[in-house]
Structure formats: C-alpha cells, structure tokens
Amino acid sequence: MQVMTDLFARIFGDGLSPLGLLVAGGLTMALVMALVMALCAIVFTWAERKVAGFIQSRYGPMRVGRWHGVLQPVADMVKILGKEDIVPRDADRPLFLLAPFVIFIGSLMAWAAIPFAPGFIAADLDLGLFYIFAVSSAATIGILMAGWASNNKWSLYGAARGAAQAVSYEIPLALACIPVVMVTGSLNMNDIVVAQQGGIWRWHFLHDPFLFVAFLLYFVASIAEVNRGPFDLPETESELVAGYHTEYTGMRFAFFFLAEYANLFLVSCVATAVFLGGWQPLFGPVFLPGLVFVVKAVLLVLLQMWLRWTLPRLRVDQLMHVCWKVMVPLALVCVLGAGIWMLATGQAG
C-alpha cells in the first residue's frame, strides 16, 4: 500500500490528510486486488481449458477471439450473465444468497497480505502469513452454507466433504509454513520475501531438505484446500453432479468459479512468496519484481492444472488418510527437522 499512498501524496500534495491518503490508498489497493481476482478468473479459465485440451490431445477453445480462443472467457461471462437466476423454492433463502459472497470474501480478504512487489502490498501486517490462513478459512463456512441452504441432498454431501477436507488440510498447510517462519523469524510477508534475496540458492525451498519437503507438502495441501485436482471430491461431477454448488445458476455460480480460481492463484502466490523467493529474481539485482512474482505464481498454477487433468481423484476416506496419517506427521517432522538444522548450522539465536 505504500506505493499507493506515495502515489496519492504525489498527486494531491498536501491536499489530503494522512487519513485521507490512507483511505484513498486503501481503497485503490482493494480495487486493484478485486481486479486481480477478476483477471485471475478470466485468464485462468482460458488457461485451464487450453491446458486440458492439449493434454487430452485436442485444441481447446479456438474460435472466439481469433487466436486460440483468447476471448472465450468473455463469451462465457456474457453467457453466464444472461442465465436465469433460479433460487430453489424450498432453499434457505438468506443463506443461499449469502453463501457465494462469503466464499468470495474469504478469498478476497486474504489478498490483502500478498506481497506482489516491494511496497506493493495492500496491508503490510506483522501477522501477514497467519492472517492469510485465518481469513481464507472463512470460505469453509460459505461451503457449508451453500450445501445446506440448497435443500438438496447431493449439495449436502458435497458441503460435508468439502468442509471436512478444507478444515483438515489447513493443518498441513500451516504446519508446512512454520519452518519458513522459524528461518525468517517473522510472519510478515515482506520480511519473508526479503529474507530470500541473493539468487535461487537463498530461496526457502532450497534452504535445507526439510524445507524442501515442507514446500512439497504445502503444494499438495494447497491443491486440497482449493478443491482441485486429485482432491476435488466435494465437487466431483461423476458422483455429486456438482457438489455444493449444484443448485446455483448464472452469476451466483460464476461467483463460485471466480472464488475457486482466485483461491488457486492465492495459494500459489503464498507458495511463491513463502518458498520460491517472492519477487526476488533467479539471480542478480531486483528487476521487474511484480512480473517475476506473477510468473512464478502462474507456473505453480499451471502445475496444478497439469495434475488435475492427469490424475484420478481420491476417495474421501483416502483423502483424510493422506492428510492425517501422512501429511501431518511429515509436516511435524519437517518442523522439528528444520529447527534442528537451524541449531546445527548456528542460525538460531
């Protein structure tokens, strides 16, 4: 947000009080984050369809927008806006209408602490990482609301599975980030990124073997958090029609989709910031930090897409087994190991 407040200070000089600068800068950043979310949805729906297409030995969208269907998401948006908005008669109306927004807000709020570039962070919180995990958990409530309010047994199944999955996988997700916090000594996202300066060998995921494993754990847990790829049981088409968003149509359904892709980008951004050096370049001085950050996050997103179209999905009990009996112990071992490594190499203190 510093960038924004400086910008406003330069434009308005002394015309704006410090409070005014804060408000203006904050609002602009919020707008920018919302735009980023919308852009995510647009870019990644297209990317998903193209990646899926090429993996499945076909082309994907090709017609809308001349070159490889780049305007396909726009066409999809127009189509979805034109759909009838159906609210089931026996649905719990307030919950039903509120659920997409709760999920959306849970995702949007977490964007406040993502460090895109030095100074270009909406809220430079000292508790940045913790804040992200705390706030993105709100989405679970939205899932439960959507599933319950739909008055549909399949939605209920999806919601129950989704909530169980989201809540369970938050633990290895957070545990995997703890070694990084130990190494950096701070939860502040800016500090975490700054601590990784000096080329690829200083990035956290190559810091020591335990952090490398932690990175892999985080990556897998993040796929499960976003209900994607091998962990998409809550919304599996082949069993639950569409899981917790079966009864949603039109723009409300679009909100779920928006939130899903925004979440996808969000967890990739967190992984980038925490493990992959954030806006730090591979080598040399800082150059186009925003672009570097986005490129890294996008590569992770593409990897997630690749996994989704390759692997079958896990059954719900297998999912839970992987989380509680494999990932959580492994994460705890990583925490312990990272601590011991730090002691052994004399970094603690």
**Binding-site member from 17, 318, 345, 347 for another protein (CB under 8 A):** 318
**Binding-site member from 153, 198, 286, 326 for another protein (CB under 8 A):** 153
CA distance 341 to 330: 16
DSSP string, 149-172: HTT-HHHHHHHHHHHHHHHHHHHH
**Binding-site member from 22, 43, 52, 182 for another protein (CB under 8 A):** 52
**Quick one: 11 or 326, whose CB is closer to another protein?**
326
Whole-angstrom CA distances from 174 to 95, 167, 234, 235, 293 are 29, 11, 21, 24, 21
Distance of CA 286 to the CA centre of its chain: 25
Q: How far is the CB of 237 from another protein (least distance, A)?
A: 5
Is 58 one of the binding residues for another protein (CB under 8 A)? yes
Is 2 one of the binding residues for another protein (CB under 8 A)? no
Is 157 one of the binding residues for another protein (CB under 8 A)? yes
* Angle subtended by helix axes 289-310 and 209-225, to nearest 10: 70
Place of tokens 């992959």: 276
Q: How far is the CB of 238 from another protein (least distance, A)?
A: 4
Is 167 one of the binding residues for another protein (CB under 8 A)? no
Q: Are 150 and 246 in contact (CB under 8 A)?
A: yes
Segment contacting another protein by CB under 8 A, of 19-27, 165-173, 269-277, 312-320: 312-320
Task: Write out the two tokens for 346.
Answer: 């004399």
Q: How far is the CB of 303 from another protein (least distance, A)?
A: 16
Q: How far is the CB of 142 from another protein (least distance, A)?
A: 22
CA distance 162 to 150: 15
CA distance 255 to 252: 5
Q: How far is the CB of 305 from another protein (least distance, A)?
A: 12
Is 262 one of the binding residues for another protein (CB under 8 A)? no
CA neighbours closer than 13 Å in the CB half-sphere of residue 248:
28
Is 236 one of the binding residues for another protein (CB under 8 A)? yes
Place of tokens 């040399």: 284
Residue type, 249: T
Is 239 one of the binding residues for another protein (CB under 8 A)? yes
Is 102 one of the binding residues for another protein (CB under 8 A)? no
Is 162 one of the binding residues for another protein (CB under 8 A)? no
CA distance 34 to 39: 9
What are the beta bridge partners of residue 120? Answer: 117
Residues touching another protein: how many (CB under 8 A)? Answer: 27
Q: Are 102 and 144 in contact (CB under 8 A)?
A: no
Task: Write out the two tokens for 83.
Answer: 């759909």
**Quick one: 216 or 241, whose CB is closer to another protein?**
241
Q: How far is the CB of 140 from another protein (least distance, A)?
A: 19
**Binding-site member from 181, 233, 254, 331 for another protein (CB under 8 A):** 233
> Taking CB under 8 A as the rule, which mask of x and - marks residues 202-231 in contact with another protein?
----------------------------x-
Q: Please, what sign has the CA dihedral across residues 171, 174, 177, 178?
A: negative
Binding residues (CB under 8 A) for another protein: these are: 52, 55-58, 153-154, 157, 230, 232-233, 236-239, 241, 308-318
